[in-house]
Amino acid sequence: MSEAYIGLLVLWPLAAGLTCLVLTSPGARSALVLSTGIALAVGGLAMAVNAPFAAPSALLGSETALHIAEGAAFVLPAYFLIRGLLAKHWLVIVFALGQLALAAYGAAAMPHAALVQNAAVCDGLSLALVLVVCFAGSFIAIFALPYMRRHEEHLRLRVSKQPGFFMILLAFLGFMNGLALSNDIRVFAAFYEATTLCSFLLIGHDKTEIATKNALRALWMNCLGGMFLHGGILLIQQGHGLVDIHEIVDPAVWAGASMLPMALLALAGCVKAAQMPFQSWLLGAMVAPTPVSALLHSSTMVKVGVFLCLRLGPVLMGSTTGRVLALAGAFTFFAASALALGQSNAKKILAYSTIANLGLIIACAGLGTPVALAAGVVLLVIHAATKALLFLCVGDMEQVVGSRDLEDLRGAVQKAPTTALAAAAGALGMILPPLGMLMGKWAAIEASLNNPALLVLMALGSALAVVCWVRFSGTLLAGRSASPSAAPSSILTSGPILGLLFGAIGLGMAAPWINALLLPGTSALAGGWGLIPSLFVTAMLGWIIGMKVLARQSSVRLATPYIGGLPSREPGTFVGALGKNWTLSEGNEYAEELFGEPRLTRVAGVLAGALLLALVGGAII
């Protein structure tokens, strides 16, 4: 039975993607994407019912699968090399050649390891990633149907690129599910590289100069991450002869052994998760259409990195490598939260918040304790739903308002009420009790009580995030839009947004149950369970009262504020100094002298890079 579910989760999206490539009818393509989303949701729920399990798999553990994985170790870097040569991008060329050299060394020097007996394993961590991909990924794919049509109308394309777009999008979901369920590290590595391919193609989808530039940046950084991954795998095979992932992460294997392979794998995870100083590839992904940004930030790509680090958690617990990794993740959490506070571009705010929260999850992986790992898994699941929601909302508001700048979205609740209210609810869900993001941070801070440096960085990062999200939601709900309300969104737009909204809030409420389902035997969030009902009632009453006040306020005529001048006949101005008319404006304070991107990025990048070097250096010593 598990084999059928694996085929549904991995092969169906791949087959549907290839079918999209040849479908000429938009209606047929929409029906196929919808059916794929439903199939993934059904497969994800079925997997949850049957988990945990470990089983042989002809799909993931046969000789054929292994040959495909070994071929992918050469074919994918060779493709990356060709793209680097065509673009004359020397970093892509160098790192693709490095991957090819490692693949050649492995094929020539490493003995051919036997097949893994239980090639498919679905434990709590795997199930978490599968559910994220199946539900958040499916909602994003459905949202993309009307979005990409409007996107191409805006670009005035004569020939639609949607067949290729949806082929890659759906294939991405299949590759992610294969990665989550693979227990053979060679097959895992093939899926890892396939996600690099998909992200490169999706970021560069529009084929503009800036899209191509950012796609190549993502490619060279992830090729570097691929080198770290393959280097760590070769060291594991050379030193221990292991390819079974669950045997590799057995702490007994590493008692007294060099932790360099674990450091390299963790470093590969940090690159994939866009941790500082590698955050620029994820920031550059914002040039892609909104569904791509949502997919990369929530349910694919970056989640590969934190998934890999969380998988290594039991080995990292109590080690120098784990402590340095935890410090690097906590530092990224703090620095990226500060950078988010200095942004007015709504997508950049979401991007830096993603980088920050991924840093927090990696800090949990570095700590490696049951409490920390439970917090990391809960954060992984709830962050995915919430961030997918926020990206879709910002993308929809951008198409309605014509801008993604937070100041231009002021009063968006008047023009796109459903989307703006959903975005505000998602933003507040990142910080308010009793929802799961706060519970996860609470557990992460509890796990770091014995490490003062981690504790301070986590507390400061959390405080900055509160300011950022309060400002974000307040801006959307404040003021009155000068433009009339937009036409209601289609069901393919509002449906995924509302589905993700209910999912984010529902998962946030169910954080302790998520913990019990995915990681039975841990009690990381149980301590706060007794407070949840009262906190929920208080939070919901506050939300209802706030909405009542907002509704009453929106019906009152707004008066021009007094600014120490005389009223003017021209709207939006007042008579001030020298008898001149001065324009009245309102806006947020971004404190660029403290949180400005150029200076803070340089300083934070250097410090984060030093920590990652220490991660490898400490393992060597």
Residue 524 confidence class, pLDDT cut points 50, 70, 90: very low
Smallest CA-to-CA distance from 441 within 516, 530, 334 is with 334
Query: Which letter, b or e, does each residue of 221-231 get, where b requires 16 or more Cβ atoms within 10 Å of its Cβ?
Result: bbbbbbbbbbb
Helices 511-518/370-401 angle, 10° precision: 130
| Calpha distance 173→138 (Å, rounded) | 8
**Rg of the chain over all Cα atoms, to the nearest angstrom:** 24
| Calpha distance 441→353 (Å, rounded) | 14
Sequence-separated (6 or more) residues with CB below 8 Å from residue 53 = 2, 120, 121, 122
For residue 2 the two structure tokens come to: 């598990």
| Calpha distance 170→21 (Å, rounded) | 11
For residue 130 the two structure tokens come to: 């599968």
At 313-369, the pLDDT tens digits run: 899 998 889 999 999 999 999 999 999 888 888 888 888 999 999 999 999 999 988
For residue 524 the two structure tokens come to: 């990381």
- What's the N-to-C CA distance of the chain in angstroms? 47
Residue 482 confidence class, pLDDT cut points 50, 70, 90: very low
Residue 361's pLDDT is 94
What is 445-457 written as a DSSP string? Answer: HHHTTT-HHHHHH
Residue 267 confidence class, pLDDT cut points 50, 70, 90: very high
Instruction: Calculate the CA dihedral of residues 358, 362, 365, 370 and round it to 10 degrees.
Output: -40
For residue 204 the two structure tokens come to: 């560069």
Mean per-residue pLDDT of the chain: 83
| Calpha distance 51→46 (Å, rounded) | 9
Where along the chain do its domains lie?
A: 1-313, 317-558+569-621
| Calpha distance 131→46 (Å, rounded) | 10
For residue 206 the two structure tokens come to: 């529009």
Strand partners, 349: none
At 381-393, the pLDDT tens digits run: 888 888 888 888 8
Residue 514's pLDDT is 67
| Calpha distance 447→534 (Å, rounded) | 24
Return the sign of the alpha-carbon dihedral for residues 450, 254, 611, 335: negative
Q: What percent of the chain has pLDDT over 90?
A: 32
Among 205-214, 378-387, 575-584, which stretch is predicted with the lowest mean pLDDT? 575-584
Mapping DSSP to helix (H, G, I), strand (E, B) and coil, where does residue 51 land?
A: coil
Sequence-separated (6 or more) residues with CB below 8 Å from residue 536 = 434, 509
Strand partners, 121: 54
| Calpha distance 170→138 (Å, rounded) | 9
For residue 37 the two structure tokens come to: 């989303």
HEC string of 535-593?
Answer: HHHHHHHHHHHHHHHHHHHHCCCCCCCCCCCEECCCCCEEECHHHCEEECCCCCCCCHH
CA distances from residue 191 to 175, 181, 220, 491 in whole angstroms, order as listed: 6, 10, 17, 33
Does the pLDDT of residue 127 top 70, yes or no? yes
At CA 284, angle to CA 283 and CA 287, rounded to 5?
A: 115
Up-side HSE of residue 610: CA atoms within 13 Å toward CB? Answer: 6
What is 499-538 written as a DSSP string? Answer: HHHHHHHHHHHTHHHHHHHHSTT--TTGGGGGGHHHHHHH
Mapping DSSP to helix (H, G, I), strand (E, B) and coil, where does residue 144 land?
A: helix
Mean pLDDT of the region 2-21:
88
Mapping DSSP to helix (H, G, I), strand (E, B) and coil, where does residue 243 land?
A: coil
Residue 25 confidence class, pLDDT cut points 50, 70, 90: confident
Mean pLDDT of the region 27-50:
90
| Backbone dihedral region for residue 120 (phi beyond 0: left; psi -120 to 50: alpha; all else: beta) | beta
Residue 124's pLDDT is 86
Q: Side chain identity at 575, as an amino acid letter? A: V
Smallest CA-to-CA distance from 178 within 189, 167, 191, 166 is with 191
For residue 40 the two structure tokens come to: 């993934």
Does the pLDDT of residue 50 top 50, yes or no? yes
Mean pLDDT of the region 68-87:
93
Whether the Cβ atoms of residue 77 and residue 103 lie closer than 8 Å to each other: yes
Whether the Cβ atoms of residue 110 and residue 237 lie closer than 8 Å to each other: yes
Among 214-228, 350-364, 409-423, 606-620, which stretch is predicted with the lowest mean pLDDT? 409-423
Smallest CA-to-CA distance from 214 within 300, 92, 301, 297 is with 92
| Calpha distance 339→46 (Å, rounded) | 41
pTM above 0.85, yes or no: yes
Strand partners, 54: 121
Residue with the bigger pLDDT between 498 and 434: it is 498
For residue 470 the two structure tokens come to: 């309060």
Smallest CA-to-CA distance from 501 within 543, 533, 441 is with 543
Residue 555 confidence class, pLDDT cut points 50, 70, 90: low
CA distances from residue 154 to 157, 402, 403 in whole angstroms, order as listed: 8, 11, 13
- H-helix segments, 241-343: 245-248, 260-272, 280-284, 290-294, 302-311, 313-316, 320-341
Query: Which letter, b or e, does each residue of 538-554 get, where b requires 16 or more Cβ atoms within 10 Å of its Cβ?
Result: ebeeeeeeeeeeeeeee
Sequence-separated (6 or more) residues with CB below 8 Å from residue 321 = 259, 262, 263, 266, 615, 618, 619
| Calpha distance 343→347 (Å, rounded) | 9
| Calpha distance 369→373 (Å, rounded) | 6
Q: Side chain identity at 339, as an amino acid letter? A: L
Whether the Cβ atoms of residue 262 and residue 254 lie closer than 8 Å to each other: yes
